[in-house]
Structure 1
Amino acid sequence: MSSSAQAPRRRTRGGGGAARRAERTAVHIEAAKYIERNIPNFEVLNEEAMQIIETNAETILAEIGVNFPDNPAALKRWADAGAEIESERVRIPRGLARALIKTAPSEYVQHARNPDRNVRVGGNSMVLAPVYGPPFVRDMEGGRRYATMDDFDKMVKLIYMSKWIHHSGGTVCEPTDVAVNKRHLDMLYSHMTLSDKPYMGSVTAPERALDSVKMSEILFGESIANKTVMTSLININSPLTFDDIMMGAMEVYAQNNQACIVSPFIVGGAMAPVSVAGTLTQVLAEALAGVAYNQLCNPGAPVIMGAFVSSIDMNSGAPTFGTPEASKILFGAGQLARRLKLPFRSGGSLCGSKLPDAQAAYETANTLNAALLGGVNFCLHAAGWLEGGLVTSFEKFVMDADQLGVLHSIAKGVDMSENGQAMDAIREVGPGGHFLGCDHTQRNFKDSFWKSGILDYKPFETWQDDGSRDTMTLANEKVKRMLSEYTQPAIDPGIDEALKAYIADRKISEPDAFG
């Protein structure tokens, strides 16, 4: 199921042939519905293993504890809830965190300004969102460079034009040409006006989270206290530390009923043990404490349990991606999240390669497939990630976004209808025949096989005659084509002016800061 908006086109004359030609060349902006899985989740932990990990996680919280530095309000909330406080250390009695998170919803709807783009997070759903956070961008013309606001706007347009991506994301690249304390305003405005897909709020300071809330109220024309319109990323400073900036942003969002992804950020061997079971234990302990604190701020606020985990190259110290250990942790964390009845975030187009090459493709495929099979509900970084998250690649973005169609197809499962069984085709063809011309094939061939919008399926001679173009070249051409065909979704002029006025007032209220 998909919805589409069509750009205006000139009326044509000349009968049915001309009409069909006009239809083929018209620009369609398609947006697939979020994935609804019709396949089982892959699991790596048996009941005994899960109980051991859960018991060990409770031991961490009760005996070792977690740190909430520079946050007296958080310490008071925890003390009032029954935790033991020693300086900035919080020790959480066994069972307390689990009791607190019972108020968190098992799923929620994030509303977009276009209701057709609303997404459901949790249950059997999977929402795909783009890369988040890189300070650099890369394309074939400019190479690797610091990102600008123009790059950011181009990425938002590409995301809007990409059928298989359901969510506009947040910091799709870091626009370094805008002051640090003001760039969040421009980024939000870009998501709000250049797209009508759902988006993420700013988390780099509590006051920027509040700006996100206020601008969203302008966009939606009402209070958002009873309408979740943002899902924002709250990273835990692993191991076991909840810094005051992130917690301050989460407090703002929770109190305004906006969703947060509470996510341990772990490089195994550096910020967690090297073993899968040990890392899973730490992931669960951190997630329990973070989600519980979210619910202390506002019981019932929507919240996602996250797990961002990579392994490490012990020679260079660099994080590695697409590894079997990271996949096993993702599968196990998904099981633990479902036992807690929480939506789950993990996975993405993660890779360590410097270019959109074979290494990038292998690592990305390993991680995206694990995310689908492991029951991920919110998949951040689903397209565009390069160089360990330092770079947003335009070409890799469209390559990844194209492959996300594969996930949609796999998630449908197997069609066991009468048409899917195809017994009529088998009877019609019989022994020794072929199925190319049979009735069943003629009725179904257009939709039977997934087809890439980028990859080359031509014979060698035709490929050679067409310029012997590799995948990155084809992706670069598609980037240019998508940007040239981009049509901005309509927005009420009064709302647009109100957003601009808010941004202007906020920008003149404080000097620029680039540090």
Structure 2
Amino acid sequence: MMRSNFKANNSMVLEVLTEEQCQMILSAAMEILERTGVVYHYDEALEILDEAGCWVDGNRVRIPTKLVEKALRTVPSRVTLYNSRTKEPALRLEGSNAYFGTGSDTPHFIDPYTQERIKASEETVRMATKVIDALPNLDFVMSLGIVQDVPQPIYDRYQFRAQVLNTSKPIVTTATDVDGYGDIIKMCEIVAGGEEELRQRPFMTLYAEPISPLQHDNDASTKLVLAGKKSLPVVYTPCIMAGGTVPATLAGAMANGLAESLSGLVLNQQTNEGNPFIMGGVFTIMDMETTIFSYGAPEFHLMQAALADMAHFLQIPMFGTCGCTDSKVVDEQAAIEDALSILITAQSGANLNHDVGYIEHGNTGSLENLAICDDLIGIARRVVKGIEVNEETLALDVIDEIGPGGHFLAHEHTMENFKKETWYPDLLQRKRYGEWQKDGKKTLTERANEKVIDILENYEPEPLSDEVVQKLNEVVQKAEESLDL
């Protein structure tokens, strides 16, 4: 078979913005930083930026375009996160590599045993982490809850301990403040085997965010600086509401949100040139009827895909959002919104995609929704993989051999290829009606609940050594003692 000027389109990708549109949004963000400026509530950040050549007026900082351009040159285009047990690379955040994981700070949690909406706790984080570790299409861990049954000033230490004890997958962590972040770094160094070992093979990245519009509070700024000083990766993610905290026009919202990301990037790179940095955001609308931060709006999907276009344009790893819903329960609405966001995010090529398992517009975590999304991610990955067209896959010799009226079921070519070409579900149902009826006529949510319970009662994550566990407990105990508990 002869080919000339052959163009292959092997994968199914989505691009919302052209390069020209990306440049327009970038130019607008740079103008915002130079003309309007941003606020930093941290003296060391102000000193760093003043020395770098920014215009500093009190807490208001105007950032010259040349400093943004310098930061864009020095920031790495790839960030690698590792398995905490094997020390092998787990996630290569670059290009269009798409990975999926949960979100963090939901105050509520659906108890898988009672289906009651309860407060998130250390135990619910342990449960969620165990399920995430077991599900094959979930690649990293966030807590899927704010631990509320421990002293709140140091809840992040308990939360991180519950995660690192129950997964070997990379962890995206939050921290109450810079002291909490410091303790989490200590815990990571214990697991990794030392400070340099963690720096060389990080299995944790911090999640922090500015306050829209155009503000970096003390907590976010101190964490950005500490991440730079420690040479550890950091996710810095604006959470904007079009019409509320940023302009109602999506282009204006994108420019405002990007300006917040870039001003965080400049501070981080001025602290440590070349520090690993992951941009992104949860960009959506304020629903004017309910005032909620909507995870199901079509504008949410559009802006998440557009943000991935911007990240690819800037060659910075991207923190995306998907697998989440505004529905209060795991129902048809949840399935629709989950599926749309997962497919669009996978096709857009965002790298580190969080909030999988959220329901109730980010207020509640659901393990059943998480298990269903695991199947949906499998579908999305198969769709994005596309169709490979070559002499082997065209199978002309096989077609000729079988001929009219034959069948391919027992042919060696089928045996060699059907598993490679075809995706098979775990929870989604393909049985005939009689088989489904015989199995109890279970709904998708019921099957998801059974899977979750089975994992909780039978799956065991790879443990850490007793010595490491004791040292982790000592970090938590020291934090407790600082509160005179």
TM-score, reference length from structure 1 = 0.87
In the alignment, structure 1 residue 294 sits paired with structure 2 residue 265:
no
Q: What CA distance in whole angstroms lies between the structure 1 residues aligned with 2:201 and 2:473?
A: 23
In the alignment, structure 1 residue 77 sits paired with structure 2 residue 48:
yes
Q: For residue 411 of structure 1, report the CA deviation from its aligned partner.
A: 3.5
In the alignment, structure 1 residue 495 sits paired with structure 2 residue 432:
no
Letter of the 1:370 counterpart: I
Q: For residue 426 of structure 1, report the CA deviation from its aligned partner.
A: 2.0
Match of 1:91 among 62, 83, 87: 62
Aligned to 2:101: 129
* 1:118 match: secondary structure: strand
Distance of aligned partners of 1:164 and 1:221 in 2 relative to their CA distance in 1, 3 Å threshold: same
Aligned to 2:232: 258
TM-score, reference length from structure 2 = 0.92
Aligned to 1:21: none
Aligned to 1:404: 377
In the alignment, structure 1 residue 341 sits paired with structure 2 residue 315:
yes
Mapping for residues 175-214 of structure 1, pairs under 5 Å: 175-214=147-186
Partner deviation per Cα, 1:372-429 (whole Å, 9 max, x = no partner): 1112011111x21111110000111111122221233234332335442222332233
Distance of aligned partners of 1:191 and 1:417 in 2 relative to their CA distance in 1, 3 Å threshold: farther
Indicate if the aligned counterparts of 1:319 and 1:388 stay in contact, CA closer than 8 A: yes
Partner deviation per Cα, 1:294-323 (whole Å, 9 max, x = no partner): 111211110011121122321121232333
Partner deviation per Cα, 1:210-242 (whole Å, 9 max, x = no partner): 001111111111113444332111112111111
Letter of the 1:177 counterpart: D
In the alignment, structure 1 residue 53 sits paired with structure 2 residue 29:
no
Letter of the 1:93 counterpart: P
Indicate if the aligned counterparts of 1:139 and 1:395 stay in contact, CA closer than 8 A: no
Aligned to 2:4: none
Mapping for residues 98-113 of structure 1, pairs under 5 Å: 98-113=69-84
Aligned to 1:62: 34
Q: What CA distance in whole angstroms lies between the structure 2 residues aligned with 1:314 and 1:200?
A: 32
Q: What CA distance in whole angstroms lies between the structure 1 residues aligned with 2:250 and 2:19?
A: 16
Aligned to 2:415: 442
Q: What CA distance in whole angstroms lies between the structure 2 residues aligned with 1:445 and 1:47?
A: 38
Q: What CA distance in whole angstroms lies between the structure 1 residues aligned with 2:201 and 2:111?
A: 38
Q: What CA distance in whole angstroms lies between the structure 2 residues aligned with 1:358 and 1:489?
A: 35
Indicate if the aligned counterparts of 2:10 and 2:388 stay in contact, CA closer than 8 A: no
* 2:453 match: secondary structure: helix
Structure 1 residue runs of 4 or more that deviate by more than 6 Å after TM superposition: none
Indicate if the aligned counterparts of 2:147 and 2:158 stay in contact, CA closer than 8 A: no
> Structure 2, unaligned stretches of length 5 or more?
1-8
* 1:172 match: secondary structure: coil
Partner deviation per Cα, 1:336-386 (whole Å, 9 max, x = no partner): 2222221111122121000111111111111111111112011111x2111
* 2:65 match: secondary structure: coil
Letter of the 2:54 counterpart: A
Distance of aligned partners of 1:288 and 1:41 in 2 relative to their CA distance in 1, 3 Å threshold: farther
Match of 2:302 among 324, 328, 331: 328
Aligned to 1:236: 210
* 1:290 match: secondary structure: helix
Q: For residue 40 of structure 1, report the CA deviation from its aligned partner.
A: 6.2
Letter of the 1:444 counterpart: N
Identity over the aligned pairs, expressed in percent?
27
Match of 2:118 among 139, 142, 145: 145
* 1:349 match: secondary structure: coil
Distance of aligned partners of 1:254 and 1:356 in 2 relative to their CA distance in 1, 3 Å threshold: same
Indicate if the aligned counterparts of 2:343 and 2:377 stay in contact, CA closer than 8 A: no
In the alignment, structure 1 residue 219 sits paired with structure 2 residue 191:
yes
* 2:187 match: secondary structure: helix
Q: For residue 331 of structure 1, report the CA deviation from its aligned partner.
A: 2.5
* 2:172 match: secondary structure: coil
Equivalent residues, number:
473
Match of 1:280 among 254, 261, 286: 254
In the alignment, structure 1 residue 426 sits paired with structure 2 residue 426:
no
Q: What CA distance in whole angstroms lies between the structure 1 residues aligned with 2:13 and 2:270?
A: 31
> Structure 1, unaligned stretches of length 5 or more?
1-36
Q: Say which is worse superposed, 149-158 or 448-457, in terms of deviation.
A: 448-457
Letter of the 1:77 counterpart: I
Q: What CA distance in whole angstroms lies between the structure 1 residues aligned with 2:428 and 2:63?
A: 52
Q: What CA distance in whole angstroms lies between the structure 2 residues aligned with 1:466 and 1:40?
A: 36
Letter of the 1:351 counterpart: T
Letter of the 1:45 counterpart: L
In the alignment, structure 1 residue 356 sits paired with structure 2 residue 327:
no
* 1:115 match: secondary structure: coil
Q: For residue 52 of structure 1, report the CA deviation from its aligned partner.
A: 2.3
In the alignment, structure 1 residue 319 sits paired with structure 2 residue 293:
yes
Distance of aligned partners of 1:42 and 1:448 in 2 relative to their CA distance in 1, 3 Å threshold: closer
Q: What CA distance in whole angstroms lies between the structure 2 residues aligned with 1:379 and 1:167?
A: 9
Q: What CA distance in whole angstroms lies between the structure 1 residues aligned with 2:386 and 2:17?
A: 23
Q: For residue 194 of structure 1, report the CA deviation from its aligned partner.
A: 1.6
Q: What CA distance in whole angstroms lies between the structure 1 residues aligned with 2:410 and 2:193?
A: 56
Mapping for residues 4-83 of structure 1, pairs under 5 Å: 39=11, 41-69=13-41, 71-83=42-54
Q: For residue 459 of structure 1, report the CA deviation from its aligned partner.
A: 1.8
Indicate if the aligned counterparts of 1:227 and 1:257 stay in contact, CA closer than 8 A: no
Indicate if the aligned counterparts of 2:82 and 2:88 stay in contact, CA closer than 8 A: no
Aligned-residue RMSD, C-alpha: 2.0
Relative contact order higher in (CA < 8 Å, ≥ 6 apart)? 2
Q: Say which is worse superposed, 459-468 or 273-282, in terms of deviation.
A: 459-468
